[in-house]
Structure 1
Amino acid sequence: MFRRVAIIGGGAAGATLLSELLERPVSQPLHLDWYTGGGVPGRGVAYGTRSSLHLLNVRAASMGMFANRPGGFLEYMQKIDPAISGTDFLPRSWYGDYLEAQTATALARAKDKGHDVRVVPYEVEAAVPENDGVTLFQGESQTRVDAAVLALGALEPRPLSGVSDDALASGRYVIKPWPMLAEVKPDTQAHNVIVIGLGLTAVDVLLELASKWPNARFTAISRHGLLPEVHQANAAMPFEDSDELVEAMRDAPDIRTWMHLLRDAIPRANDWRRVIDCLRPHTAMLWGQLSHAERLRFLRHTRWAWERARHRMAPQIAQSVHALEREGRLRRLPGHMHNVVLTDNGLRMTFLPKGDKTEVTLDADMIIQSTGLETDVRRTQHTLLQQLMTNGHIRSDPFGLGVDATTDGHLLHDGKPWPRLFAIGSLLRGTLWESTAMPEIRQQARQLTDRLLAD
């Protein structure tokens, strides 16, 4: 049993692990150090928004914080409003409130149980893992713990290749959309805005700015120019042949074969969403079955389609986006950005439309990079990850999706697992693939707690 544990990261993953640890009956009091960095503990980037336009893309009934109580969020919300249904897609800000409340409850009960919990509102700057513990450095102080867990969430985004220094310095090219959206003021000017990306982050950006800037016009670009798929208004029944499908995929770990199996299954399901959703509990296992070459094939050729189908929009969000298109305020362009430069009047993007050989130029007052989750530790500016990488304590997974780790979260160095250094959440994408949403994170927190508290 590791009595002194450090949790590094103040978002949902860190809060979930902390709360899971404090829920468990233990023979001896725990000493927990939770390094939350800036921001409100528990909310992180994902749930820090206060906009009512930003909705969860998972139904309320499935968003509980604890793996053994998946309906916890719905129960919390129905105490506030009994009319809320488990099939509703609720505002992310409400979910942030729930995480805050659950974490505050866990911290209050910790005192009654005799646990010593320090909430440290700073970043860990360096760490030295060893076989018998981990030493953490923050400023001029250092702390020795039995085990440390990286729960860092999404990393700071980097500007895309081809964006000039002048464009970045101008403030017109926005790398971090969330701080910008939190501060944006209502404006009636006819802004011309380019949004890079068409995933769920881009959709949030479009809807928020469209509401604040009623006369703005938006151009959204991505490789294929396609929006995320849309959830059904009502939850569908589980796919009856899911066990047969998963077994067939497990026995033939080949992307081409999987595509054939999925195409065969969809007509039997009557709705392709039922097929995609039945794979969710098995995604980590299936990802683990794929060879390096097959994972690479998936990432190069199939990832975009999977992401569209897997990470879907709530129906009301889709209606709002399509309304922008009907009103002529939003156009979508498939293709590739080559560069962005500063001009006298704003920014100019050189863009190659999909299927064309001739580049075009797109002018804008502002360009917002909304390409979603960043987890590539090879290029991050995150101080702790840089130090761990530079000193050879950790390494990237082979595909730049996160850190190299075992399936139960032990970080690897030279192919060997550290016995007392772990990760949870988005940094495990390369190992587990699906590792960013609450249903996966809460299960990881439960399993990691079992390991940390094992006698």
Structure 2
Amino acid sequence: MHRRVAIIGGGAAAAALLGELLERQPPQTLHLDWYTGGGTPARGVAYATRSDRHLLNVRAASMGMFAGKPQGFLDFVQREDPSVAGTDFLPRRRYGDYLEAEVARALALGKVHGHDVQIVPFAADAVVPEADGVTVFRGEEGRRVDAAVLAIGALPTQPLAGVDAGALASGRYVVDPWPLLAAPPAAAPAHVAVIGLGLTAADVLLELAARWPATRFTAISRHGLLPEPHLRSTALPSGDSAELIEAMLDAPEVRRWLHLLREAIAQEEDWRSVLDSLRPHTPTLWAALSPEQRRRFQRHARWAWERARHRMPPLVAEGLAALEQAGRLHRQRGHVHRVEPDGDGLRLELHPHGGGAHELLHADLVVQSVGMDFDVARTPHPLMRQLVVNRHVLPDPLGLGCQATPQGRLLHEGGAWPRLFAIGSLLRGTLWESTAMPEIRQQARAVADQLLAD
């Protein structure tokens, strides 16, 4: 059992691990150092929003913090409002409230049982793993622990290639949309270009459209398609998905998988039930693909998977449809090749997907909303840069976090570290689906099992 553990990260993944460790009531005293990086512990970026327009894209009944209590979030909100249903998509701020409450409860429980938890409201600057322990540095001060877990969440957003330095200096190109959404300028721009059409872009469009009722929006993506919407009620496959999973594992090739999925969907009332049935098996399926097949998936199928797998709540879909019908939102296909100053605004050079003549677009404000960055080899994140530069961790070859075992042990050139773990986004390349709470709580349980094992 590892008695001294450092948890590095201040978001939901770190909170889930903290809760798992303290809920177990281990027989020996735990000494936990939680490096939250500032801000409100547990909320992180995802659940720090206070806007009721920002909804969870998973139903309330599936958002419990602990693997053993998947309905914990629903129980929490129903104590205040019994009318909430398990199928509801609730505001993300309510989930942040739930995480804070669960952390407070876990800390109180830990105190009763004599465990020592130090909340360090700073980021860890460096981590040095060794075979018999890990040293965590903040400034010049190092603290030796038995094990450390990286739960850092989203890496810092970086501007897209082709964004001119003058565009960045103008303040009219927004790299990270969340500070803008928290406090939009009072002076509304006439025309806003949003780069991206995923779930983050949906949040940006609905919030800014409500704050700036006269503003027009152009949303640009490779295919010009929004995420698919959830059904208002859940849909289950009519049969066992075991046959489909077995067929996919027998032929781990992307083209064959697409054919099998089309066949399975043709037999169902709704395609969503087929995709949802794959969710528990995604790590196994991803592990079955060869490196070349993973690259092929990234190039040709990822965009379709993302918009079908990570769906919008019905209310969000309706809000975006209303903006389009009112003529305030226009979706445009293309690749943003360059962004540079243009008078009082910015000029975007768009290249159509598949070739053709480029187009020019003028916007008063450009908001980059392309989702999470996973590439640790190119990130400015200080801790991840230190780990990569010192070869303590190995970047995933597809830019999907770090190389790791399926159990979350990070790899270096000599193999797996026995005492350095990760959960959440850093395991994207190992598990593929690794950013939503249903997956993160399973990872937290698995890592807690290893940390507390005799």
User: Which residue does 2:338 correspond to in 1?
Assistant: 339
Tell me if the contact between 2:55 and 2:90 (Cα under 8 Å) persists in the aligned partners. yes
TM-score by length of 1: 0.98
SS in 2 for 1:65: coil
SS in 1 for 2:88: coil
SS in 2 for 1:83: coil
User: Which residue does 1:180 correspond to in 2?
Assistant: 180
Tell me if the contact between 2:347 and 2:363 (Cα under 8 Å) persists in the aligned partners. yes
Query: In terms of mean alpha carbon deviation, does 114-123 or 353-362 score higher?
Result: 353-362
Using the alignment, how far apart are the partners of 1:320 and 1:26 within structure 2? Answer: 48
Using the alignment, how far apart are the partners of 1:124 and 1:402 within structure 2? Answer: 18
Task: Give 1:27 deviation, angstroms.
Answer: 1.6
Residues 145 and 278 of structure 1, relative CA distance in 2, 3 Å threshold: same
User: Which residue does 1:217 correspond to in 2?
Assistant: 216
Task: Give 1:343 deviation, angstroms.
Answer: 2.0
Amino acid at match of 1:330: L
User: Which residue does 2:367 correspond to in 1?
Assistant: 368
User: Which residue does 2:207 correspond to in 1?
Assistant: 208
User: Which residue does 1:316 correspond to in 2?
Assistant: 315
Task: Give 1:359 deviation, angstroms.
Answer: 1.1
Task: Give 1:60 deviation, angstroms.
Answer: 0.3
Query: In terms of mean alpha carbon deviation, does 418-427 or 247-256 score higher?
Result: 247-256
Amino acid at match of 1:125: D
Q: How many residues align?
A: 454
Residues 129 and 367 of structure 1, relative CA distance in 2, 3 Å threshold: same
User: Which residue does 1:95 correspond to in 2?
Assistant: 95
**RMSD over equivalenced CA pairs, Å:** 1.0
Task: Give 1:241 deviation, angstroms.
Answer: 3.0
User: Which residue does 1:252 correspond to in 2?
Assistant: 251
Tell me if the contact between 1:56 and 1:90 (Cα under 8 Å) persists in the aligned partners. yes
Using the alignment, how far apart are the partners of 1:171 and 1:436 within structure 2? Answer: 30
- Residues 269-348 of structure 1: matches in 2 within 5 Å? 269-348=268-347
SS in 2 for 1:422: strand
SS in 1 for 2:45: coil
Task: Give 1:186 deviation, angstroms.
Answer: 4.8
User: Which residue does 1:454 correspond to in 2?
Assistant: 453
Using the alignment, how far apart are the partners of 1:49 and 1:31 within structure 2? Answer: 31
Amino acid at match of 1:440: E
Amino acid at match of 1:11: G
User: Which residue does 1:64 correspond to in 2?
Assistant: 64
Amino acid at match of 2:90: L
Task: Give 1:353 deviation, angstroms.
Answer: 2.4
Amino acid at match of 2:240: D
User: Can you list the C-alpha shifts for 1:166-196, whole angstroms capped at 9, x where unaligned?
Assistant: 1101110000001111011455x45210000
SS in 1 for 2:267: helix
Amino acid at match of 1:55: L
Using the alignment, how far apart are the partners of 1:226 and 1:186 within structure 2? Answer: 30
SS in 2 for 1:350: strand
User: Which residue does 2:105 correspond to in 1?
Assistant: 105
Task: Give 1:398 deviation, angstroms.
Answer: 1.1
User: Which residue does 1:51 correspond to in 2?
Assistant: 51
Using the alignment, how far apart are the partners of 2:70 and 2:190 within structure 1? Answer: 43
Tell me if the contact between 2:49 and 2:92 (Cα under 8 Å) persists in the aligned partners. yes
Q: Percent identity?
A: 63
Tell me if the contact between 2:189 and 2:365 (Cα under 8 Å) persists in the aligned partners. no
Residues 111 and 324 of structure 1, relative CA distance in 2, 3 Å threshold: same
Tell me if the contact between 2:25 and 2:110 (Cα under 8 Å) persists in the aligned partners. no
Matched, 1:440 2:429: no
Using the alignment, how far apart are the partners of 1:123 and 1:354 within structure 2? Answer: 41
User: Which residue does 2:6 correspond to in 1?
Assistant: 6
User: Which residue does 1:171 correspond to in 2?
Assistant: 171
User: Which residue does 1:40 correspond to in 2?
Assistant: 40
User: Which residue does 1:394 correspond to in 2?
Assistant: 393
Tell me if the contact between 1:239 and 1:275 (Cα under 8 Å) persists in the aligned partners. no
Query: In terms of mean alpha carbon deviation, does 348-357 or 332-341 score higher?
Result: 348-357
Amino acid at match of 1:400: G
Using the alignment, how far apart are the partners of 1:98 and 1:238 within structure 2? Answer: 31
Unaligned residue ranges in structure 2 (runs of 5+): none
User: Which residue does 1:128 correspond to in 2?
Assistant: 128
Unaligned residue ranges in structure 1 (runs of 5+): none
User: Which residue does 1:420 correspond to in 2?
Assistant: 419
Would you identify which runs of 4 or more consecutive aligned residues in structure 1 move more than 4 Å?
none
TM-score by length of 2: 0.99
Tell me if the contact between 2:237 and 2:268 (Cα under 8 Å) persists in the aligned partners. no
Matched, 1:118 2:83: no
Query: In terms of mean alpha carbon deviation, does 206-215 or 409-418 score higher?
Result: 409-418
Task: Give 1:10 deviation, angstroms.
Answer: 0.3
User: Which residue does 2:226 correspond to in 1?
Assistant: 227
Tell me if the contact between 1:333 and 1:353 (Cα under 8 Å) persists in the aligned partners. no
